[in-house]
Amino acid sequence: MSKKFFASDNCSGIHPQIMQAIMEANTGHVKGYGYDNYTISAEQEFKRLFGNDIEVFFVYSGTGANVLGLQACLHPFEAVICSDMAHIHTDETGAPERNLMSKLIPLKSVNGKISVDQISEVLVGRGVEHHAQPKVISLTQSTEYGTLYQPSEIKAFGDFCKKEDLYLHLDGARISNASAALGMSPREFVRESGVDVMSFGGTKNGMMMGEAVVFFKPELAKYMKFQRKQGMQLFSKMRFISAQFSAFFKDDLWLNLAKHSNNLAQHLAKSLREIEGVQITQPVDVNAVFAIFPQGVSEQLAEEFPFYVWNEALNEVRLMCSWDTEINDIEVFIERAKQLCDGVETVN
Ligand SMILES: Cc1ncc(COP(=O)(O)O)c(C=O)c1O
């Protein structure tokens, strides 16, 4: 059995039940572009989760979902407030700026999170034509640092947005992990906390590909079918994303897979804490562990069990567990980390 990677939860493959659903959808002809029963069923699953009065659009990628969700809320002269760690700011190659033609206003984050108290400092020049007009706050749940906003924290943003005539966007590429960790339906901590539009991730939690843009203010979705096509996110063979989402929700597969990867991250963090010289740098709320290894160790470990350096200045690395990471994978990794940290082997 080959070693597992810890680089990302997209290093894993496709869950067998998802693959099975793709194969079952692979019979006969149906209409393209979402005009098929697989898509109607998958939309129904989202309505069961969030309520009937939503609009949902399936797309290929998380970047695409974020850009489209934001596009629905913005004119190009309006701006998005986000954390300085936000995927939209750090990891989307400027796709939001290029496609929205809008300014992102990053705020300094702590453990990947921003707080509502920071917003007022950038809500300046409203109504003045020389300033980009803040219109959206974007949060990521779970965050890029593997931490969680508590529902009350999201609600504080939701209330603030209502008061200040802003929209609240949520990047939920790892919403399953957040839901599993909070033990709460996203209806509660997303919709009922005041989020207007979210990206709902599938790819990082066992799907082959597929994300959804979910609107809790359906009027925001007025032009989305055109925006999705123009934004190159409309899949002609849509049934193969839709069938995946139906399998994802069946018997709580999405939550069970997320619980599994979250639990393994806890196990990984606990084992790492027992190794002298290893420092865990962030709270471990979901399926990511951030750590600093003694000089020279992480380079060797990353050769054997690929993972990324997150903060080069600190030599902080990110280790992610996937739906298919097993206890044994963690144990093999920990054994090797111990060896290297004990200096049992010369590090090249
Ligand atoms: C927080 C977050 N948002 C969005 C994405 C979506 O990315 P992609 O466009 O690669 O599907 C990712 C993927 O790494 C992510 O970590």
- Read off the pLDDT of residues 282-336 as tens digits, 9 standing for 90 and up: 999 999 999 999 999 999 999 999 999 999 999 999 999 999 999 999 999 999 9
Structure-block tokens of residue 72: 């629905």
Which residues in 223-256 are b (16+ Cβ under 10 Å) and which e? ebeebbeebebbbeebbbbbbbbbbbbeeebbbe
E strand residue ranges, 160-260: 167-172, 197-201, 211-215
The two domains 16-251 and 253-341 share their CATH topology (first three levels equal): no
Structure-block tokens of residue 219: 């009027």
Task: Give the C-alpha separation, 315 to 303, whole Å.
Answer: 15
Centroid of ligand 1 to alpha carbon of 9 (angstroms): 10
Bin 195: left if φ > 0, else alpha if -120 < ψ < 50, else beta.
beta
Which residues in 267-303 are b (16+ Cβ under 10 Å) and which e? bbbebbeebeebebbbebbbbbbbbbbbeebbebbbe
Fold classification of 253-341 (topology level): Aspartate Aminotransferase, domain 1 (3.90.1150)
347, pLDDT greater than 50: no
Once rounded to an integer, what is the mean pLDDT over residues 56-70? 98
Once rounded to an integer, what is the mean pLDDT over residues 132-147? 98
For residue 1, name the pLDDT band (cuts at 50, 70, 90): low
**Quick one: which atom of ligand 1 is closest to the CA of 143?**
1
Centroid of ligand 1 to alpha carbon of 141 (angstroms): 12
Once rounded to an integer, what is the mean pLDDT over residues 210-232? 98
Structure-block tokens of residue 142: 């779970």
For residue 344, name the pLDDT band (cuts at 50, 70, 90): low
Task: Give the C-alpha separation, 216 to 192, whole Å.
Answer: 10
Centroid of ligand 1 to alpha carbon of 278 (angstroms): 28
Half-sphere exposure of 173 (CA within 13 A, CB side): 26
User: What is the chain's mean pLDDT, rounded?
Assistant: 96
Centroid of ligand 1 to alpha carbon of 116 (angstroms): 24
238 φ/ψ angles, rounded to the nearest 5 degrees: -55, -30
For residue 75, name the pLDDT band (cuts at 50, 70, 90): very high
Once rounded to an integer, what is the mean pLDDT over residues 200-208? 98
345, pLDDT greater than 60: no
Centroid of ligand 1 to alpha carbon of 161 (angstroms): 24
47, pLDDT greater than 90: yes
Once rounded to an integer, what is the mean pLDDT over residues 37-47? 98
For residue 348, name the pLDDT band (cuts at 50, 70, 90): very low
6-31 residue pLDDT tens: 999 999 999 999 999 999 999 999 99
Task: Give the C-alpha separation, 319 to 280, whole Å.
Answer: 11
Would you state the pLDDT for residue 234? Answer: 98
Residue of the nearest CA to atom 4 in ligand 1? 62
Residues with CB under 6 A from ligand 1: 61-63, 87, 140, 144, 171, 173, 203
**Quick one: which atom of ligand 1 is closest to the CA of 64?**
9
Is 16-251 CATH 3.40.640.10?
Answer: yes
Residue of the nearest CA to atom 5 in ligand 1? 62
Task: Give the C-alpha separation, 271 to 276, whole Å.
Answer: 11
Centroid of ligand 1 to alpha carbon of 54 (angstroms): 23
For residue 343, name the pLDDT band (cuts at 50, 70, 90): confident
Centroid of ligand 1 to alpha carbon of 173 (angstroms): 6
Parse the chain into domains and list their residue ranges.
16-251, 253-341
70, 87, 148, 174: residue to mutate for ligand 1 pocket, most atoms within 8 A of CB: 87
204, 241, 322: residue to mutate for ligand 1 pocket, most atoms within 8 A of CB: 204
Tell which residue, 73, 84, 79, has the closest CA to residue 125.
79
Structure-block tokens of residue 240: 């193969």
